[in-house]
Structure 1
């Protein structure tokens, strides 16, 4: 274990850290970069992607939280699509990537830890229908189930306007769909400039009578 790794452990840095976080441990640039190169070569520190690092798992005090990492990579984003539906217990399938919506250009970030996808969906309010989840001093944003479904419809362009395809194609339980409230729909009203989404929201709201 080199000096930088020891300092990270002593100062209790976040599980995922940046070079800016390390500056307070070693303010001198050349010394910091030399120590970082040495730690990477030894395997004490791993590079998740450019600018983002973590200690080797043998030194970590906690697991890397993929949802927090998705937010750290692109802060103006929120977890959505099948990832959010799976987190909410609405779909049974295991999700192999962490899928998010962002106001930035769509992209995919592959790391040795997980695959992160970001899809740009134009909206009047990016965070309408989204919840904030806190983890100590850190946090991430995640779509509520109806928002995740609206995002799914925006991308898939399915001409769905009833509950039936949600049950048959996505295997969502009708009991879960019946938990949707008028507030859930009101949050998203007029948020998407896409007919397929507006028709979907209007159709299932009418069917649920909320």
Structure 2
């Protein structure tokens, strides 16, 4: 369907689809049929994205994550992998949000959202543009701080422990680490709930 293809990969809500399909006797049934046939993918209740087999374009998990629950930005291992800083594939799209923590599962995968306070949230976020759309994602520095500050049972009280965590546990590109912006680490340390752990990032970097 040309109308659907024109939507591209931007997630759309139910009301937009309903108006787009207003020419059908029952737009609601048509939406259900399109979902059943795989031409529409439901991301959550009331939010859809056009299938790549209709749009001819690859879906963006970052863009979908921003739309499923927000305000939010992609972070932690998802952002580190996106920036090419860790080797392992990441199967859950991880984001930070100003809302309560939530998780969504759909045909695309798992989308996990972790709450953080506003003064911390606003640090080190980048708006990335790609092929006509934009999404919010953590800078490498912020993604690393988020991972350390908001992963349960991660305690990096000593610089040596932190170094082992970076090199062996997440296998971070250490050459890239030593080129990171210390100012973002300092801002995160000032507002983070794991100030000591993030201060150790600064010590290791300097």
Give TM class, smaller chain.
0.7 to 0.9
Matched-pair contact (CA < 8 Å) for 2:18–2:28: no
TM-score (norm 1): 0.82
Conserved 8 A contact 1:78-1:130: yes
Aligned to 1:139: 134
Q: Write the deviation string for residues 138-166 of structure 1: whole angstroms up to 9, x where unpaired.
A: 32111112211211222234134425222
Q: Structure 1 residue 182: deviation in Å?
A: 3.3
Q: Distance in 1 between matches of 2:131 and 2:116?
A: 29
CA contact (8 A) 1:80 1:151 kept: yes
Residue among 119, 125, 147 paired with 1:152: 147
C-alpha distance in 2, partners of 1:30/1:160?
64
Distance 2:76 2:148 in 1: 9
Aligned pair partner of 1:8 in 1, 4, 9: 4
Indicate how the Cα distance of structure 1 residues 160 and 176 shifts in structure 2: closer, same or farther if over 3 A, else same. farther
Counterpart of 1:60 in structure 2 is 55
Post-superposition CA distance 1:152-190 (Å, at most 9, x none):
222234134425222232222331221122333344352
What is residue 188 of structure 2 aligned with on the other side? Answer: 188
Matches within 5 A, 1:45-56: 45-56=40-51
Which residue of the other structure, out of 164, 188, 200, is the alignment partner of 1:203? Answer: 200
Q: CA deviation at 1:133?
A: 0.9
Unaligned runs of 5+ in 1: none
Distance 2:163 2:36 in 1: 55
CA distance 1:30–1:75, change in 2 (3 Å): farther
Q: 1:64 to 1:76 in 2, by over 3 A?
A: same
C-alpha RMSD of matched pairs (Å)? 2.4
From 101, 109, 112, the counterpart of 2:96:
101
Secondary structure of the 1:99 match is: strand
1:70 aligns with 2:69: no
Greater CA drift, 147-156 or 42-51: 42-51
Who wins on radius of gyration, i.e. which is larger? Answer: 1
Going from structure 1 to structure 2, the CA distance change for 1:50 and 1:185 (only over 3 Å counts) comes to: same
